[in-house]
């Protein structure tokens, strides 16, 4: 892989959509981390898929920053022709955890978004099947992977 490809990509993305991006960072060869703004996140995602070729969805997950009162939702994407890995992030304030669902762009994010919804409480708009994936259907204990989750002790 020739050197500097990541920088070319970063510049191209910055040039194409300067308003949608909050920060770009090159982590390693062929791995870039991109944080987008909340407005037009869907547009950014569609552009990444159609123009830049990130058609292979890998995974999605979230991180809870309790002290900074925000949550970060990460989408992991892959470009199959250039083997580029992109970590697409978005910051959400903890009192407004809504996000347009990325299943409109990459269908396979369905399972990962379902899991994030039940573990963190982030609600995804226009998700085709927003039922719980791993937890039982009658789970009332809260959102397990949040930092302020209090688990119940099992009876000895």
Partner 1 sequence: MSEPKIEPDLMRVSWGPQHPMSGQTRILLDIDGEIVHRLTADLGFTHRGIEKILENRTFLQGIIPIERMVMVDTANIGLGYVLAIEEALGVEPPERADWIRSMICEFYRINSHLYAFGLQVEATAYFPAVFLWTTIDREIILDLQEQLTGARWSYNFFMPGGVHADIPEGFQDKVLEGVEYLRGRFKQYWGAMVENAIFEMRNEGVAVLRKEDAIRLGATGPVLRGSGVDMDVRKDDPYAAYGDLDFKVVTEAEGDAMARLKVRFHEIEQSLDIIEQVANEIPGGPVRTRIPLFLRIKPTEVLSRVETARGELGIHMFTDGGMNPYRVQINSPSLRNMYVFERLAELDEILLADVPVVINSIDPWYLDSDR
Q: What is the three-class DSSP state of 115?
A: helix
Instruction: Tell me the H-state helices in 106-153.
Output: 109-120
- Cβ 107 to partner 1 shortest distance, Å: 6
**Closest CB 115 distance from partner 1, rounded Å:** 8
12 contributes a contact to partner 1 by CB under 8 A: no
Pattern 21-40, partner 1, x by CB under 8 A = ------x--xx---------
Q: How far is the CB of 69 from partner 1 (least distance, A)?
A: 15
Residues from 35 through 74 that contact partner 1 (CB under 8 A)? 55-59, 61-64, 74
Q: Are 16 and 8 in contact (CB under 8 A)?
A: no
Q: Which residues contact 25 (CB under 8 A, 6 or more apart)?
A: 32, 33, 34
Residue with Cβ nearer partner 1 (6 or 64):
64
Q: How far apart are alpha carbons 123 and 51 in whole angstroms?
A: 27
Q: How far apart are CA 38 and CA 92, in angstroms?
A: 8
Whole-number Cα distances in Å, 56 to 18, 22, 72: 24, 23, 21
Q: How many residues bind partner 1 (CB under 8 A)?
A: 35
- As measured in angstroms, the least distance from the Cβ of 91 to partner 1 is 14
Q: Which is nearer to partner 1, 40 or 59 (CB)?
A: 59
Can you tell me the distance from the alpha carbon of 66 to that of 39, in angstroms, rounded to the nearest whole number? Answer: 23
Interface residues toward partner 1, by CB under 8 A: 27, 30-31, 55-59, 61-64, 74, 76, 78, 80, 83, 85, 87, 106-108, 110-112, 129, 131-137, 144-145
């Amino acid at each position: 892989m020739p050197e500097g490809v990541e920088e070319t990509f970063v510049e191209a993305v910055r040039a194409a959509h300067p308003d949608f991006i909050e920060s770009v960072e090159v982590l390693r060869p062929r791995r870039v981390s991109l944080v987008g703004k909340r407005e037009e996140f869907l547009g950014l995602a569609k552009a990444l898929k159609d123009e830049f070729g990130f058609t292979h969805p890998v995974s999605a997950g979230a991180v809870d920053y309790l002290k900074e009162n925000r949550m970060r939702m990460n989408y992991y994407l892959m470009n199959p022709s250039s083997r580029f890995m992109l970590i697409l992030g978005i910051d959400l304030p903890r009192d407004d955890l809504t996000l347009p669902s990325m299943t409109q762009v990459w269908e396979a994010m369905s399972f990962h978004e379902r899991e994030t919804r039940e573990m963190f409480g982030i609600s995804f708009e226009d998700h085709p099947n927003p039922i719980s994936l791993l937890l039982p259907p009658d789970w009332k204990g809260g959102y397990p992977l949040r930092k302020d989750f209090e688990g119940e002790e099992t009876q000895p």
